[in-house]
Amino acid sequence: MKVLRTAFLLTALTLALIVVGDAFGGLNGMKIALGFAVLLNAVAYFFSDKIALMSSGAKPVSREQLPRLYEVMERLAGKANLPVPKLYLVPEAAPNAFATGRNPRHASVAVTQGLLQLMNDDELEGVIAHELSHVRNYDILISSIAATLAGAITYAARMGFWASIFGYGGGRDNERQGGGLSAILMIILAPIAAMMLQLGISRQREYAADESGAQMVGQQFGLISALQKLGAYNQRIPSNIPQTTSALCIVKPNFGGGSVWSSLFSTHPPLEDRIAALREMTISHPG
């Protein structure tokens, strides 16, 4: 079901791109917007792992330095038939973790010092299984596709804005759109709609990683306990992980403040909803 929801949201983004591109620039406008978005997000796709690790201050660690982390990672990677990702440590007290890399052969998993200190073995296993699920589910690729489509919609809307200012005709339906008011509304609303669809995809991928991570371990209770701890401690301990990397984290870091708007535009579902979904799921055991 979560795969279908993600597919639906990606389809909605594609349709939105077609509508906006056609409205403002016709087929050529849509191609130009998509080309810009593909170029920028291709760079992000191939280099986002290095950017995320460097910007968060993550340092590579060896098996000798963190044998507990390696033991959990190697066991779960073997269970999931995945290559063991490169492991990194983020030197900060706020507990969190994130996975990055464009495919399983180029994956990295980073955990904070606070996470290792606060989690018991079952909780650490739940967190690592969640991150490995992101790797196995190619969530970085899915997020890149969503970002490309959302970016193309935004570029098309901006092109339409400047075209309207300088009096250039947009798409072939320019006359039947009802004049400038409808164009202005689309310029404002199209990027917002694209962002909301992109955030919806991000939230669905978090639910999916929770579910497949629990299936990987064979029970959901370690991850439930980990999410409860992560929520409690991240409310009290500010994070130094940059906001550009926060979407990758297992829970949204605490940057201070918080409001209805920040939760509305969050890349993560509410923790209580994730925990409730985990409590209701049924673990399938082989044999």
What confidence tier does 61 reach under pLDDT thresholds 50, 70, 90?
A: very high
Name the residue with tokens 């500010």: 238
Write down the pTM of the prediction.
0.76
* E strand map for 8-164: 59-60, 86-90, 97-100, 108-112
d(CA 206, CA 211): 9
Is residue 47's pLDDT more than 90?
no
pLDDT tens, 128-175? 999 999 999 888 777 766 666 666 666 666 666 555 555 554 444 444
Q: What per-residue confidence (pLDDT) applies to 222?
A: 97
Please give the single-letter amino acid code of residue 286.
Answer: P
Tell me if 29 sits within 8 A of 164, measured CB to CB: no
Token couple for 159:
């092109």
Helix (H, G, I), strand (E, B) or coil at 87: strand
The CA–CA distances, whole Å, from 63 to 8, 74, 124 equal 42, 10, 16
- 3-state DSSP assignment of residue 100: strand
**Residue 90 CB neighbour total at 10 angstroms:** 24
Q: Is 71 a catalytic residue?
A: no
- Give me the catalytic one of 92, 125, 131, 206: 131
